[in-house]
Structure 1
């Protein structure tokens, strides 16, 4: 017997089959569409460079789901600042990069399902093997995102996030 992990939308009353588990911000908050034609700017699905001075790499934020072996990467596809130099870009295709020690970064995306804002939340960035996005560990504070990452979230919270993101129009399912 399979279970339907979908949910009934409280806004529209429609049943959503399945439960989206992965969301992504298109760009860090500092990105301006006017940068797209600049030679010193880049926005790809994994990296962002602003005026060859500010470097960003797409990261994931994994949150354990209580009562499950799964993690919710859904709030995840946010961007966070890479180190102040393009070191993350230099290591992008380097095998063994997962041996790098975690480094400091800032969350540069406002995740609309959290208040106060997640913009400029301090974090530790953990590099993974080539082909996997690094993951973000918010500093252990009382910010709701940091608390949820430490304590986990329920399936009801996953549905709440899915509903909020699907109706916000500001994030894309990844």
Structure 2
């Protein structure tokens, strides 16, 4: 699934590091940015076959495959240690049917922020990480109406989990941008 540039849902962060045009180390061209977030339009398990199965639907914030697999869109936030900003991976997390139904029942109710965390499995294969990010254990923290849930990874030694705990630098943000820019064509 291609990665697309995105800003976070709350609108509190700029979509790129302000005033930080840079010369790309891969193509030697100047670029605005780098972006502070990327996301995918669907879980890694969504494909043509899944879309054709009865009980399958892909929405902006939720996805169901074959009436049996349930996903919600969420934000995996990583602090940028040398800036007063955060980097945002837009991801999908699989949850149980019971959790999905509970989240759906509270979708537009303010009291949803009082919910305990939901267990889930990361269902986005983020580029640039080895081993894969698929199926990392997560906790989903429900946010106020209009904000996507926040993902908390299990504190393991996986590089993504380490970055979430310790943060990344603005140089790492630029490196991520250079890799993604030259792997996937920019999408609007």
TM-score, length basis structure 2: 0.82
Aligned to 2:14: none
Aligned to 2:9: none
Kept after mapping to 1: 8 A contact 2:64/2:70: yes
Q: What stretches of structure 1 move > 3 A for 4+ residues in a row?
A: 34-39, 170-173
Give me the CA root mean square deviation: 1.9
Provide closer, same or farther for how the CA distance between residues 172 and 63 of structure 1 changes in structure 2, counting only shifts above 3 A: farther
Aligned to 2:15: none
From 69, 79, 101, the counterpart of 1:54 = 69
Q: Are residues 1:80 and 2:101 paired?
A: no
The answer for unaligned runs of 5 or more in structure 1 is none
Q: Does 128-137 or 64-73 show the bigger shift?
A: 64-73
Kept after mapping to 2: 8 A contact 1:22/1:77: yes
Provide closer, same or farther for how the CA distance between residues 109 and 170 of structure 1 changes in structure 2, counting only shifts above 3 A: farther
From 143, 146, 155, the counterpart of 2:161 = 146
Kept after mapping to 2: 8 A contact 1:82/1:105: yes
Q: Which has the higher strand share?
A: 2
TM-score, length basis structure 1: 0.88
Kept after mapping to 2: 8 A contact 1:98/1:129: yes
Shift of 1:84: 3.2
Q: Are residues 1:128 and 2:143 paired?
A: yes
**Residues paired across the two proteins, number:** 169
From 49, 52, 58, the counterpart of 1:43 = 58
Q: Does 80-89 or 20-29 show the bigger shift?
A: 80-89
